[in-house]
Amino acid sequence: VDRPTVTKIDFDQAPAIVLGITGPTLAPEELYRIADELVRPELERLNGVAQVAIVGGRQQEVRIEADPERLRARGISLAQIQGSLAAANLNIPSGSISQGGRAYSLRLYGLAATPEDLGRVVVGGTQSAPVRLADVASIRLAARDQTQISRVNREPAVVLRITKQGGANLTDVVDRVRAELPNIRRLVPAESAVTVVQDVSVAIRTSLAGVRDELVFAVFLTSLVLLLFLHRLRVSLIVLMSIPTTLLATLVVMQQLDFSLNLLSALGLTLTIGILVDDSIVVLENILRHRSMGEEPYEAAINGRREIGLAAVAITLVDVVVFAPVGLVSGQIGGFFREFGFTIAAATLISLIVSFTLTPMLAARLLGRESGEGADALWGFAARWDAWFARLERFYRRTLNWSLDHRWVIVVGAILSLLFGIGLITTGRVPNEFFPRDDQGIFTISTEMPPGTSLARHDEVMREIEARLFELEEIETVATSIGGGGAVTGFVIGGGGQARFGSLAVELRPKGTGRRDVYEVTEDLRHRLATVPGVITRIAVQNAGGAGQPVSVRVQGPEAERLQALALEVDAALRRVDGLRDITNSAGIGAPELRVRIDRERAA
């Protein structure tokens, strides 16, 4: 029984960037040599790079082909040759010696550097007439038997999966790799090309840029709303000053907590824009009330802040106790939302401090120089705005009076609305999922052929799939892997490297080019690939949570044969359920084998 294999999956072990080396005129072994000897060393020395894995190509090996007639004539067996080679190829420490006041470590080094060195190894004979390996066998360098095939955009290729170190910033690592590409392209032969097959940071940068744009827009919109309702430039400026002050102070706290400005932390800052001005508006409104009572600016700032202090603290702490626990959630969800919850909590607390310090100080300074509302350049617009708002207020007053006169109607309506909302969730009318459907323009097609399928046959089918893929104008890059045990751009697990398993990692053109949604493209592909004979295809769209299957069913039991039969029954039952597709059964069917039974009497 073989030892079990345990694979630990870490999201940091997914490749940060994937490069492809193509050369239509180069042999697979030459492509592998370029990747292994020229490109990989340059990438591995970059700061933040943990591993550079090579997928595809063909490695070279030393092939020893013994001549049976010569072996028989000299009385040498294959076991003797194997033992002699193992004994001759040594590289072991052998102690140390001291000489002339210096200590030297000793190492017994007997590794063969060339096929000729192997040919000189003694495998039999006598001391006076030794038989060397070259006397009974031919020795040559040759390419290993091909067990996998890799292509990029239908051209033979070697793919390099570059993994970042744990804790390293993904975008920084990708930037260093891209900065190194011009130097790498100068090192490789002119007939080869080095291209970026997949860059995980593109989706991250796009999402982060979108959140940053929303942050700027939120500040602008808040400024506009404040100006509309307060219609005084100085008053609006006092409140607006709390936003950049609070954001900058929050960034300092994030740095101390070792948070980065990522998608979730930036989203947290965006969501707090409205909260940031709440405390300042409450404090400033009370200061203005004291000014209208005839108090001096400095006195009004002190009294207004003191009078409203307890209410402002209560309002702020309510927000903190809602968001802070989000950062304390354990498990995978907690890992995602820790920075989100703590960033909002920190920004909210800092906004309270700003409203108690900066806002009263600015009010005492700026409000003291006002010469009256009529001097405000916006007063004409403000008068029309107030008239419209007064009409809205009168409508609200009438609505409120009607509601108070018909309390049971409002109570019953509220209860029915609550029950209706709960019903939508419990009955599944409102779908729920861990990550929303996100169009990153990346998906993976997994292929499975019948047991016993050869690599060449699978390659023929894969070329047919590639041809149908490139019929779509949205396709930009296709990285193909056959027999590699997994996608060239993701975790290389599953499938055991069998020739009947393969994958295609597909990247679409950018969104701004007028392409269809990635889900529309994959739905179209499902229909196109359904007619490819002899292959099972499964499509997984990559979103923020990866490209895995959203639902899994585990069947457990003590008997392997019975367990496999039950798994097939569950598989068949699931395929009859409407809405399910791309069903995978890990209880694979065994490959056909030929068994050779030895006749021991004849063998003797």
- Structure tokens belonging to residue 193: 């090309």
232-377: CATH architecture: Up-down Bundle (1.20)
Q: Contact 536/425 with Cβ under 8 angstroms?
A: no
Q: Which candidate, 265, 332, 550, 330, places its Cα nearest to that of 432?
A: 550
Per-residue H/E/C for 79-91: HHHHHHHHHHCCE
- pLDDT, one tens digit per residue, over 107-164 is 877 788 788 888 888 888 888 888 898 889 998 888 888 888 889 999 999 999 999 9
Mean pLDDT, to the nearest integer, of 436-440?
72
DSSP 196: E
177: helix, strand or coil = helix
Q: What is the domain partition of the chain in residue ranges?
A: 11-56+153-197, 61-143, 232-377, 387-432, 442-550
Q: Sorting pLDDT into bands at 50, 70 and 90, what band is 176?
A: very high
- pLDDT, one tens digit per residue, over 97-109 is 888 778 888 887 7
Q: Which of 113-122, 360-369, 406-415, 453-462 has the lowest mean pLDDT?
A: 360-369
Q: Which residue has the tokens 């018909």?
A: 406
Q: Sorting pLDDT into bands at 50, 70 and 90, what band is 380?
A: low
61-143: CATH architecture: 2-Layer Sandwich (3.30)
**Which CATH number does 11-56+153-197 carry?**
3.30.70.1320
Interhelix angle 242-256/273-292, nearest 10 degrees: 140
How far apart are alpha carbons 152 and 161 in whole angstroms? 13
Q: Which of 24-33, 181-190, 497-506 has the lowest mean pLDDT?
A: 497-506
- The predicted pLDDT at position 604 comes to 66
Report the percentage of the chain scoring pLDDT > 70: 89
Question: ∠ CA 349-352-357 to the nearest 5 degrees?
Answer: 130
- The predicted pLDDT at position 268 comes to 85
Higher pLDDT, 585 or 240: 240
Q: Sorting pLDDT into bands at 50, 70 and 90, what band is 590?
A: low
- The predicted pLDDT at position 434 comes to 60
Strands 442-448 and 155-164: unpaired
Q: Which residues neighbour 362 within 8 Å (Cβ) at sequence distance 6 or greater?
A: 237, 238, 241
Mean pLDDT, to the nearest integer, of 468-479?
91
DSSP element (H, E) containing 154 = none
Other Cβ atoms closer than 10 A to 118: 19
Strands 130-132 and 122-125: antiparallel
- The overall average pLDDT reported for the chain is 83
Yes or no: is domain 442-550 CATH 2.60.40.10?
Answer: no
- The predicted pLDDT at position 436 comes to 64
DSSP element (H, E) containing 174 = helix 170-187
How far apart are alpha carbons 380 and 274 in whole angstroms? 27
Strands 102-109 and 155-164: unpaired
pTM, entire model:
0.70
Q: Which of 3-7, 365-369, 391-395, 586-590 has the lowest mean pLDDT?
A: 3-7
How far apart are alpha carbons 165 and 207 in whole angstroms? 23
Mean pLDDT, to the nearest integer, of 22-31?
88
Mean pLDDT, to the nearest integer, of 171-184?
93
> Is 442-550 in the same CATH topology as 11-56+153-197?
yes
Mean pLDDT, to the nearest integer, of 416-433?
82
Higher pLDDT, 191 or 382: 191
- The predicted pLDDT at position 1 comes to 44
The DSSP line for 255-273 is HHTT----HHHHHHHHHTH
- pLDDT, one tens digit per residue, over 481-509 is 888 654 555 544 344 457 888 999 898 88
- Can you state the percent helix, strand and coil of the chain, rounding each to 5? 55, 15, 30
- pLDDT, one tens digit per residue, over 278-337 is 888 888 888 888 888 888 888 888 988 888 888 888 888 888 888 888 888 777 677 778
| Res. 545: pLDDT tops 80 | no
Count helices and strands in the chain by DSSP H and E runs: 20, 15
Interhelix angle 233-240/200-230, nearest 10 degrees: 150
- The predicted pLDDT at position 555 comes to 81
